[in-house]
Structure 1
Amino acid sequence: MLDIINLSTVPAFLLIFMRVTAFFVTLPIFSYRNVPSQHKVGFSFFLTWIMYFTIDIPVVLLNETFYLLIIKEALVGLMVGFIAYLIISAIQVAGGFIDFQMGFAIANVIDPQTGAQSPLIGQYLYTFTLLFLLAVNGHHLLIDGVFYSYEVIPMEQLYVPFSNPDMMDYVLQTFNKMFVIAFQMAIPIVGCLFLVDVALGIIARTVPQLNVFVVGLPLKILVSFIVIFISFGMFTMLVHQLFELMLVSMRSLMQLMGGA
């Protein structure tokens, strides 16, 4: 074992392990509660072992600088994984818009992956998105982001430039793009339901004997399911754009954190 691993590079191995583990804490799919913690730690260690023999390992000493590097590596992993989670959460935001118009907002369900409440339609669309991500091997590209991070954020870099205004502006712009994509996903269903509300309002004025509150809810649910079925092809295209934005956002944020 001593011939395989140089003891002087063990601190560098720990730094790689810290970045990979922190990356999986917030990364979609890998960070979910239904993935056992033992598997997360084991997979992080296995990936760290591969990266140890792949990337250039600098000499890191066990001194006060090592503790600063540990904190920096944890922040890098958490922020890169969080920006990916922020983008893909647009699916649940779009589902929240749809559920509010459908009348399903009161029927939130517990997301077994995060343990938080999520909208009903949003959870359905989110599950479909995760399956689509796995089907196109998008999780391999997410893991590839860990390898790429060492090209733009060196291990020996002591700090993350939080004072850089470009990085803060980029995070805010990414947050704005997430809501724009969520609105694009929800607008076909929300727009049709708005027209249904207008039609029900006209019927309520012209036929006062008809109880629109009794007729309106099942009618809106029926229209919603029909529109979701028709617009599912467009939803797949938006999910594809969402994946591209997620990967580009991860790469751009890592470049800003590396001072590029």
Structure 2
Amino acid sequence: MVELLVQTQIAAVLIAFARIGTALIFLPGLGEMRIPGRHRLALGLILSLGLMPAIPVTPPEQTAQLALLLAREALIGLYIGAGARILFAALQALGAFIANVTSLSSALAAGDTGYEGSTAITSLLTMAGLALLFATDSHHLMLRGLFLSYELIPAGWLPLSDLTGQIARLVARSFYIAALMGAPFFLLAVVLNLGLGLANRVMPSMPVFFVAGPVNIALGLGLLMLASPAILAWFSDDFARFFLELRP
């Protein structure tokens, strides 16, 4: 009897860990590459043990059914973690766009939220976004969303078509956010290059490339300084909305 109870509890922890642990691999702030893998696994195990008594999970008796349930829960965790990461990628896309517009795309820096390199502006925006997540307690909101996801998607139920469509909408939303927040920089680039082109027509001897570079960088960084509070505030609200929707 005791052995059966222990097996049931272990299976319940594994089921909870399949969703929570998989999500923690991708969640911004909690699943960054700078955090060692063993620490992320330990955090996922601790959260699974803490949330397991409150999670409505009934382990199946057969091993095949348990393996299928674990696979479904892992896919749901992948959706939650990857969905949050897709939204966070809006800051990366915006940083790359601003760097190209302001002629700073060659100012490369180490990637802070991925294994690939990035521009200095991208690293600045992503680090500011991560700091904002913890400063506004959005990491608590992520954990709350993981717990409430069991009310929206109970254990054992996998609406694969709905999740696939939601991921596609999140990708579109991420690009929309990046494009909308980058619109002032695009307008700046159009106006600046148009003005320099007209100036070159009036004064053919003017060294346009030597003048355009410093002016473009100065105006771009000045606009970034003015727009960054609104950019980060909008991103924080949109990011929080994703986890607030993980409930009925």
**Aligned residue identity for 1:122:** T
Alignment partner, residue 118 of structure 1: 118
> Is 2:235 aligned against 1:236?
no
1:58 aligns with 2:58: yes
Provide the rounded CA distance (Å) in 2 between the counterparts of 1:39 and 1:167: 28
Gaps of 5+ in 2: none
Counterpart of 2:206, as a letter, is L
Q: Is the 8 A contact 1:193 1:223 kept in 2?
A: no
What does residue range 82-101 of structure 1 map to in structure 2 within 5 Å? 82-101=82-101
Q: How does 1:64-143 map to 2 (within 5 A)?
A: 64-143=64-143
**Does the aligned pair in 1 maintain the 2:15–2:57 contact within 8 Å?**
no
> Deviation at 1:83?
0.5
Which segments of structure 1 move beyond 4 Å, counting only runs of 4 or more?
Answer: none
Determine whether 1:194 maps to 2:172: no
Q: Secondary structure at the match of 2:129?
A: helix
Q: Which runs of 5+ in 1 are unaligned?
A: 256-260
CA displacement, residues 48-87 of structure 1 (integer Å, 9 cap, x when unaligned): 1111222233142242111111111111111110001101
Aligned residues: 246
Residue 220 in 1 paired to residue 216 in 2?
A: yes
Is 1:207 matched with 2:200? no
- Displacement of 1:36 in angstroms is 1.5
Alignment partner of 1:171 is 2:182: no
Whole-angstrom CA distance in 1 between matches of 2:6 and 2:61: 13
**Separation of aligned partners in 1, 2:164 and 2:115:** 29
Report the RMSD for the aligned CA atoms in angstroms: 2.0
Give the corresponding residue for 1:258. none
Does the 8 A contact of 2:112 with 2:123 survive in 1?
Answer: no
Task: Note if contact 1:11-1:61 (Cα within 8 Å) is conserved in structure 2.
Answer: no
- How far off is 1:152 after superposition? 2.4
**CA–CA separation in structure 2 for the residues paired with 1:219 and 1:156:** 58
Using the size of structure 2 for normalisation, the TM-score is 0.91
Letter of the aligned partner of 1:214 in structure 2?
F
Change (3 A) 1:56 1:6: farther
Residue deviations 1:88-137 (CA, integer Å, cap 9, x gap): 11011111111111112223322143221223212211111111111010
Deviation at 1:40, TM superposition (A): 0.9
